[in-house]
């Protein structure tokens, strides 16, 4: 009865924060130069002079002399779901259905297929803290990383974050019951975690034996993903898909949502996506999206491109967008490399570069807007 009354007076209405202020839309990602083209690039990491990234079940690298031609450096039997590089060039790789593997350094060849009693089969993010400590995010115990849409629409909260001592191979849980942790960053003695389905960033004080989560940034207009450090003491946040009132409404209608998941192919779900607008069968069509065949930049969309620069206080400072009519959607990873900021648009199969002058232009524009 109370649920009905709440709906009647719209107390539980589907609301999404607007993109305004620091998050005001622009087309900076579409204007960014292309570093390389690749099939669904993901997991950018700087390793020495190289930019390492994953595509399906292989690792590739770009060098300053690559001229847009990535070189394959290693192939695996399973899809790469997470990647981290230590300052001395050691790589940690998360593999779908297999676990975590360390490549190079003193712990070369070390593998983890379990974290405590939990199978480590779906790592979504990895982060080194020195040569002997590795943090791991497991997005969900119910769904593999590539089933993230299902995990969202099922409203799962079975993710966890772990700390691994690479010397002893001991794994300690930092937090569990998380709604798809999908990004990790160690920043001034604090572990920052992006919790995708709750649209927020959390912090855990690593100086405490049992750190409790504290909210850093809340109610983001999209689903936050990977985190990486910036040279100015801040960080970069990849927001891989947008929130919308329609999707928030569907999430509340559990009966409808369950029937949709059971009866429709994934590409036709009313759910966020890394790329949209490719088929007339997609759920969001019509005059609200296109006028005279032209995709409106402000149209409601299931996919979007958004890179957010965080200041030293880890609050949003700048943003770079690819709007509904853009072609740099599904930004899943960001990494500073070779004097620029590289981003992986998995939705459109490119690795682009936000140049330093573009960052300055955005700051100047923000000043004019005020």
Give the DSSP letter string of 277-296. -S-TTSSS-STTTEETTEEP
Q: Tell me: the pLDDT tens digits for 193-217? A: 999 999 999 999 999 988 999 999 9
Q: What was the pLDDT predicted at 368?
A: 39
β-bridge partners, 165: 133, 170
CA distance to 152, 210, 268, 279, per residue, from 263 (Å): 17, 43, 10, 19
Find out whether 100 and 126 touch, Cβ atoms under 8 Å. yes
In sign, the C-alpha dihedral spanning 289, 292, 293, 294 is negative
Q: Which of 271, 269, 358 is nearest to 319 (CA)?
A: 358
Q: What was the pLDDT predicted at 9?
A: 47
Q: Tell me: the pLDDT tens digits for 69-95? A: 999 999 999 999 999 999 999 999 999
Q: Tell me: the pLDDT tens digits for 241-250? A: 999 999 999 9
DSSP state of 26: -
Q: Report how far residue 207's alpha carbon sits from residue 364's, in angstroms, rounded to the nearest whole number.
A: 38
Q: Report how far residue 74's alpha carbon sits from residue 80's, in angstroms, rounded to the nearest whole number.
A: 11
Q: What was the pLDDT predicted at 367?
A: 40
Q: What is the band of 369 on the pLDDT scale with cuts at 50, 70, 90?
A: very low
Q: How much is the average pLDDT of 267-282?
A: 82
Q: Tell me: the pLDDT tens digits for 313-367? A: 999 999 999 998 899 999 999 999 999 999 999 999 999 999 876 665 554 444 4
Domain extents in the chain: 27-369
Tally the residues of the chain: 370
- Residue 13 clears pLDDT 90, i.e. is over it: no
Q: For the chain, what is the mean pLDDT?
A: 90
Q: Report how far residue 223's alpha carbon sits from residue 10's, in angstroms, rounded to the nearest whole number.
A: 24
Q: Tell me: the pLDDT tens digits for 284-297? A: 554 445 554 555 56
In sign, the C-alpha dihedral spanning 254, 255, 256, 259 is positive
Determine the angle formed by the axes of helices 254-263 and 245-252, rounding to 10 degrees: 100
- Residue 15 clears pLDDT 80, i.e. is over it: yes
Only one residue has tokens 């995709």, namely 295
CA distance to 42, 129, 199, 322, per residue, from 16 (Å): 27, 35, 10, 19
Q: What was the pLDDT predicted at 199?
A: 98
pTM over 0.95: no
SS3 101: strand
Q: How much is the average pLDDT of 104-121?
A: 94
Quickly count: other Cβ atoms within 10 Å of residue 10's Cβ.
9
In angstroms and rounded to an integer, the radius of gyration of the C-alpha atoms of the chain is 20
Biggest distance spanned by C-alpha atoms of the chain: 66
| CATH class of the domain whose range is 27-369 | mainly beta
- Residue 277 clears pLDDT 50, i.e. is over it: yes
């Amino acid at each position: 009865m109370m649920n009905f009354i709440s709906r009647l007076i719209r107390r539980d209405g589907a609301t999404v924060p607007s993109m305004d202020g620091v998050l005001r839309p622009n087309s900076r990602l579409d204007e960014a130069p292309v570093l390389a083209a690749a099939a669904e690039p993901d997991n950018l990491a700087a390793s020495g002079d190289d930019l390492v990234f994953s595509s399906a079940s292989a690792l590739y690298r770009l060098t300053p002399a690559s001229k847009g031609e990535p070189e394959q450096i290693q192939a695996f039997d399973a899809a790469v779901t997470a990647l981290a590089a230590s300052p001395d060039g050691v790589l940690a790789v998360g593999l779908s259905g297999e676990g975590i593997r360390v490549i190079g350094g003193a712990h070369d060849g070390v593998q983890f297929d379990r974290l405590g009693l939990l199978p480590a089969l779906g790592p979504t993010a990895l982060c080194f803290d020195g040569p002997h400590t590795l943090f791991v995010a497991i997005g969900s115990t119910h769904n593999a990383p590539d089933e993230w849409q299902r995990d969202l629409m099922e409203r799962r909260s079975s993710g966890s974050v772990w700390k691994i001592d690479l010397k002893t191979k001991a794994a300690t849980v930092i937090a569990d019951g998380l709604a798809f942790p999908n990004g990790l960053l160690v920043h001034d003695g604090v572990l920052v975690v992006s919790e995708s389905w709750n649209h927020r960033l959390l912090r855990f004080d690593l100086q405490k034996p049992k750190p409790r989560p504290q909210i850093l940034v809340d109610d983001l207009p999209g689903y936050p993903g990977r985190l990486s450090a910036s040279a100015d003491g801040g960080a970069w946040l990849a927001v891989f898909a947008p929130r919308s009132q329609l999707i928030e409404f569907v999430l509340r209608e559990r009966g409808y949502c369950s029937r949709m998941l059971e009866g429709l192919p994934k590409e036709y779900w009313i759910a966020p996506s890394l790329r949209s607008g490719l088929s007339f069968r997609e759920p969001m069509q019509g005059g609200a999206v296109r006028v005279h065949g032209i995709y409106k930049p402000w149209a409601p969309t299931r996919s979007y491109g958004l890179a957010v620069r965080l200041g030293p206080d880890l609050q949003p400072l700048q943003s770079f967008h690819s709007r509904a009519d853009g072609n740099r959607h599904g930004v899943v990873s960001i990494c500073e490399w070779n004097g620029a900021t590289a981003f992986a648009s998995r939705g459109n199969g490119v690795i682009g570069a936000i140049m330093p002058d573009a960052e300055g232009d955005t700051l100047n524009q923000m000043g004019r807007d005020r």
